Amino acid sequence: MLKLATRGSTLARWQADEVARLLRRADPHLEVELVVVETTGDRRQDLPVWELGGQGVFVKEVQVAVLDGRADVAVHSAKDLPSLTGPGLTLAAIPGRADPRDALVGSTLDGLEPGAVIATGSVRRRAQLAWLRPDLTFVELRGNIATRLDRVPPGGAVVVAAAALDRLGLKSRASEVLDVSAVLPQVGQGAIGVECRAEDHVAVGSLALIDDAHAHACVDAERSFLARLGGACDLPVGALARIDDNHVSIEGLLASPDGRVVLRARRAGPLADASSLARELAEELLAAGGEDLIPVGSAAG
């Protein structure tokens, strides 16, 4: 029996059910059960994520459920994970990754009139869209996917992960899926991160059966990039790693919250060097002026 801890949102439950399905397919004799956990991010919908403590507000309580033995495995959206895995845990599996891109619901980017309203709770999305369209107006928006889709501003748009729409059967709601050349995704976006206790060899062995080595390597590289920047939810950062024929390319972005400054660069090399290339990429952006964009308290290190 493996108990999977998850948030209670429809998307989080879908992801946990998908992990359970993959585990049962890999081992038909394995029994799997979900343990639903409420997180700080779920309880406090009235504040922006960065005011609640930034990176980790959607995962901490789920991780605690594993550490204290209520569950064996924690299932997360990989984009919600802090850049460094906490003590006692291991990121044991990243199943095959879905579309990492962002999507607009409401209007296309070119279809937005000057001054149109974009609703998003993401500083990364806001900064990049402001860079592309300085005329746009932005408003804060939090909540589950259904809530956000119900709050499309008149003549405007909301921004959501394309993978979330696809997983919930709402792909047709996207007015435009934004190319990564325009808006670089969040670290880990489109991936499911599966953690367990580092010393739980049974869980580690089971999760190894559903791990996608390439997806895992890409997410690890992106998290290395974020870790070098000291990234949190108050820092507009994006990254995407891709693998082709045992080589990896990683593109990274660091921006000012208002989108007036956007630094972007790319590194490529052997897959074995993915994490070191990601850290070098972060160093390049910091040296190009990124140090001045790091908020006090989020210093790169």
What is the average pLDDT across 284-290?
Answer: 96
Q: Is 244 a catalytic residue?
A: no
In the prediction, which pLDDT does 46 show? 47
CB 17 within 8 A of CB 192: no
**Residue 52: pLDDT above 70?**
no
Taking the C-alpha atoms of residue 282 and residue 215, their distance in angstroms, rounded to an integer, is 20
With bands split at pLDDT 50, 70 and 90, how would you rate the model's confidence at 179? Answer: very high
What is the average pLDDT across 216-238?
Answer: 89
**Residue 87: pLDDT above 80?**
yes
Set 72, 80, 102, 200: catalytic member: 80
Taking the C-alpha atoms of residue 236 and residue 164, their distance in angstroms, rounded to an integer, is 21
In the prediction, which pLDDT does 92 show? 98
With bands split at pLDDT 50, 70 and 90, how would you rate the model's confidence at 232? Answer: low
Fold exhibited by the domain 2-96+190-211? D-Maltodextrin-Binding Protein; domain 2 (3.40.190)
What is the average pLDDT across 265-291?
Answer: 96
Task: Tell me the CATH architecture of domain 102-177.
Answer: 3-Layer(aba) Sandwich (3.40)
pTM of the predicted model over 0.75 = yes
With bands split at pLDDT 50, 70 and 90, how would you rate the model's confidence at 154? Answer: very high
**Residue 27: pLDDT above 70?**
yes
Output the CA angle 271-274-278, nearest 5 degrees. 155
What is the average pLDDT across 236-257?
Answer: 96
With bands split at pLDDT 50, 70 and 90, how would you rate the model's confidence at 50? Answer: very low
Task: Tell me the CATH architecture of domain 223-293.
Answer: 2-Layer Sandwich (3.30)
